[in-house]
Amino acid sequence: MCSWAAAGRRLSGCRARAALPGAPGRGGSAWPGGGRAVNLTELLQSSVGDEEAATRRQRPPQEGTVLLFPGQGSQFVGMGRGLLRYPNVRDMFRVAEKVLGYDLLSLCLRGPQAELDRTLHCQPAIFLASLAAVEKLNHQQPSVIENCVAAAGFSVGEFAALVFAGALDYTEALYAVKVRAEAMQKASEAVPSGMLSVIGQRESNYNFACLEAREHCKSLGIENPVCEISNYLFPDSRVIAGHLQALEFLQENSRKYYFKRTKMLPVSGAFHTRLMEPATEPLAEVLKSVEIQKPFICVYSNVDSQKIYALKTHSTFVSKAACFTC
């Protein structure tokens, strides 16, 4: 659907699928630059090709590029403003308004921040802005797209990675993100919860810290408290998610656990924990109706770090993708 698309047949001509309730019809190409999409598709295919061709070429590591798409928490008022002058970005926002039922562009540009931070708004915003940023990248440094060998994404960013790789149609993926975001918003409102970014040290014992935070919550009368590692960012850095009281306890006692720095993330819930389990069913249901193609490049999964291109069945993808929420 975008001019940089890894799979022009997937992205430069989004066709309607009646199986997606609420998704608007998508007859024909949504993009005025469809011809350029085909050219860039051929370019990416020629640079990546099928598995056998890729094996034969043995591209030197320094020549390959990897795109990593951001997740929830990276939103800010004004996001996307500098991308509107690049090809197709305004069209992406127009399509989004039809799929989402509200003016996402206005929300991104003018906020307010509190509304943009809500899960049901920020996930579609990050998804779209990430793909719009690829338009800019393709305009300024097309060699990065030409030499792309793999993609990945943090949480909702994995949907953007799959669209970029040609595995998912832009409009269908956006609709899935909409359903996901609404379900996670509802789940997060049921229990006051959040996520805490932690930079630790070699001495940091994250699991012990979470255990004591849960015990603290029990002392406050909270039944079955949640406080656990939800994301492994890099060595000595974690994201811990759970009840707000647990996260506040960790912040107050950060020196005890050898945490160098702690910061609450601008999200509305404890994502990637069992508090999000109610959100998995709506997402899994909509993903059953989404057409999934084999990616032209490797996409690495959030769930188990495996290459998504190796998935054998649609049901396997659905079960993995549903785990994006918990």
Residues belonging to the active site: 155, 272
Q: Alpha helix (H) ranges present in the chain?
A: 8-11, 34-48, 51-57, 89-100, 104-110, 113-117, 119-140, 142-146, 157-164, 170-190, 206-219, 244-252, 280-287, 314-322
56: which residues sit within 8 A by CB, 6+ positions away?
none
**Most distant pair of Cα atoms in the chain: their distance:** 64
What is the DSSP pairing of strand 193-199 with strand 65-69?
Answer: unpaired
For residue 139, count other CB atoms closer than 10 A to its CB.
Answer: 15
For residue 56, give the 3-state DSSP assignment. helix
